[in-house]
Amino acid sequence: MSVEKWVKASTLEESEEYHKRYNYAVTNSIRRKILRLIDEGKTEEEIMSILGLSEQQLRYHLKVLEWGFCIEKKGDRWVITKEGKIIDRIKG
């Protein structure tokens, strides 16, 4: 389901689910750091090295960020969505 469909949720339940997912994704400091590093164009390998994460840990956080509408895969790289740009407004 596309981000746009969620943003234009037709029911209160869909809107609540969208906000729940998004909030869960961005309230974790590691995921906010991952968002910033993706925004800087870092690769998964670079992110693991910089943050000291295992591949399994990074995969988990990327999955949550994608589930929360913050990132999407473009070719072989992750990119920040409009929703993921929240990192420009919050610290940590």
Mean pLDDT by 10 residues, the chain (92 residues): 57 86 92 95 97 98 95 94 78 56
Q: What is the pTM of this model?
A: 0.84
Domains of the chain: total: 1
Identify the pLDDT of residue 53: 98
Identify the pLDDT of residue 1: 47
Q: How far is it, in rounded angstroms, from Cα 88 to Cα 78?
A: 17
Identify the pLDDT of residue 90: 60
* Cβ-based burial of 66 (10 A; exposed 0-12, middle 13-18, buried ≥19): middle
CATH number where 24 lies: 1.10.10.10
Provide the residue range defining the domain that includes 77: 3-88
Identify the pLDDT of residue 15: 84
Identify the pLDDT of residue 58: 98
